[in-house]
Amino acid sequence: MSKIETTYAQYPFLKELGIEEENPGVFNGKWFANGDIIKCSNPTTGKVIATVRGGSSADYETVVQKLLETKNKWALTPAPKRGEIVRQIGDSLRSKLEPMSKLISLEMGKIYAEAKGEVQEFIDVCDYATGLSRTINGQVIPSERPGHVLLECWNPLGLVGIITAFNFPCAVLGWNAAISMICGNVQLWKGASTTSLITIAVTKVVAEVLERNGFDSGICSTIIGPGRTVGEQMIKDKRFGLISFTGSTEVGRHISSEVHSYFGRTILELGGNNAIIVAEDANLDLALRAILFAAVGTTGQRCTTCRRLFVHESLYQPLLERLTKAYSSIKIGDPLAEGTLVGPLHTPSAVKEFTEGLEEIKKQGGKVVIGGNKLEREGNFVQPTVVEINHDAPIVKTELFVPILYIMKFKNLDDAMAWNNEVPQGLSSSLFTNNQMNIFKWLGPTGSDCGIVNVNVATNGAEIGGAFGGEKETGGGRESGSNSWQQYMRRSTCTINYSTEMPLSQGINFN
């Protein structure tokens, strides 16, 4: 058997999704590539699954030219028709829910249940966007001048660039592309190089739907390649009306500087350093379940992962004991195996971040309660870890993208709320309480300063109907629900004079 036949025998879903042993990583209606070879590895074993040839600088320009060719036809297609295409993309993903989920587990490393939830999220956003395609609306505004009316009109931006991270290699494209498409834009997707096979599989699903409906599939183009080349070209390209980026605060700061230098738009979904506060009157059973999923889900590699846990002193010891017991029962292993709750970290560099981060934590007075070790086995496996530490230790203000949870006690709830806000990041936060005064203070102007402010639920697991994003060094972006669609369109305020007179605004007389 050849190498790919052996791989197909072990992972038959690869063939179902059109993954070959060697894959071109650029798509603009056809597949091609002239850049460097990328080895796509399984984080569970460290072994190479397949290879992808990335795009070159010349490939990038070829893709952008196709986007420019297709943008007017797509923009002039009625929005409900665009919504019908997006609906079919959702249906096509439904038909491939199982193999796509297994590919995410294989290449990214999250457990199958979470991978399936990620694909479902893309499907749900397609349903949401389909309805939105018939309800995009502006305002009719009263005019102060007789015989005049003011209208608010929304039109596509044109070209949208979407740069996604490894941890949600499918869903985050859906948040952006489904909404952007019904708004009338064409888009270029640059997925993370370490999840290139997922990028290719998703692109093939979208392309097939466009082609089946008689559209140029270059409307949704893809380029895989390193950020230092094609990524840099993308963020410096003034032909893009919007760059949507999900990733680290450091890279986001660079992208913001580049794009805003030419007054382009950005959606930035950057770092999270999220906290759960357990108040004196909290339901401990509820809190424990939420903390466990929020802290160890996706092996601590969600931007909404709970990294800081503030517990009232009266509940601190009983919660710590129950949390330690729960951590000791977590099954770590192959994310495709039944019963596994924690898979591997995505890359060996993440393992290094885990081990070096724990060394620094100990230097700053942190004490490991449970976990704290790299597992001596093939793959990128570590133990989910709980650390006791002071809230003002400098390391607590830094996001480590690994399964390390800081636990800290408080006496006064106001202090805990202030500690929630004292970090540079501002993505997600949650308060466990049954006191309505606490709840409304938490939601109010002196409560949480995050973009996601929860009560009695975890910091992660956001629904697509609400806008997703955060404040401060999280970047200020908002994706998916609410009025996030407005970021993908340009707004015009239109004054129409339907009279035979020419009155001026503010009562000005210019005779």
Q: Report, as an integer, the average pLDDT of 458-467.
A: 94
Could you give the CA distance from residue 489 to residue 241 in angstroms, rounded to a whole number? 9
Q: Give Rg (Cα) of the chain.
A: 24
pLDDT of residue 228: 86
> CATH classification of 274-463, choosing from 3.30.420.40, 3.40.50.150, 3.40.309.10, 3.40.50.720?
3.40.309.10
Tell me the C-alpha to C-alpha distance, in Å, between residue 138 and each of 155, 481, 490: 10, 17, 11
Cα 237–Cα 238–Cα 242 angle in degrees, nearest 5: 90
Q: Residue 342: is its pLDDT beyond 60?
A: yes
> Is residue 464 classed as helix, strand or coil in its secondary structure?
coil
pLDDT of residue 213: 98
pLDDT of residue 1: 54
Q: Report, as an integer, the average pLDDT of 59-68.
A: 98
pLDDT of residue 2: 65
Could you give the CA distance from residue 241 to residue 185 in angstroms, rounded to a whole number? 9
Q: How confident is the model at residue 244 (pLDDT cuts 50, 70, 90)?
A: very high
CB atoms within 10 A of CB 61: 12
User: C-alpha 98: how far from its chain's center?
Assistant: 21
pLDDT of residue 89: 98
**CATH class for domain 8-270+475-492?**
alpha beta
Q: How confident is the model at residue 6 (pLDDT cuts 50, 70, 90)?
A: confident
- Percentage of the chain surpassing pLDDT 70? 99
> Is residue 428 classed as helix, strand or coil in its secondary structure?
strand
Residue with token string 């709750």: 341
- 159-209 pLDDT per residue, tens: 999 999 999 999 999 999 999 999 999 999 999 999 999 999 999 999 999
pLDDT of residue 350: 98
Identify the weakest region by mean pLDDT among 1-15, 61-75, 134-148, 472-486: 1-15
Q: Residue 417: is its pLDDT beyond 70?
A: yes
- Answer yes or no: 269 catalytic: yes
pLDDT of residue 507: 85
Q: Mean of the per-residue pLDDT values for the chain?
A: 97
Which part of the chain has CATH 3.40.309.10?
Answer: 274-463
pLDDT of residue 395: 98
Q: Which of 107, 269, 399, 473 is catalytic?
A: 269
Can you read off the two tokens belonging to residue 488? 């993908």
Identify the weakest region by mean pLDDT among 295-299, 409-413, 500-504: 500-504
- 258-278 pLDDT per residue, tens: 999 999 999 999 999 999 999
Q: Is the pTM of this model over 0.95?
A: yes
pLDDT of residue 40: 97
pLDDT of residue 510: 84
How, if at all, do strands 385-388 and 367-370 pair? antiparallel
Q: How confident is the model at residue 156 (pLDDT cuts 50, 70, 90)?
A: very high
Q: Report, as an integer, the average pLDDT of 272-293.
A: 98
Q: Report, as an integer, the average pLDDT of 455-459.
A: 98
Which part of the chain has CATH 3.40.605.10?
Answer: 8-270+475-492
* Closest listed residue to residue 90, CA positions, set 221, 216, 209: 209
Q: Residue 5: is its pLDDT beyond 70?
A: no
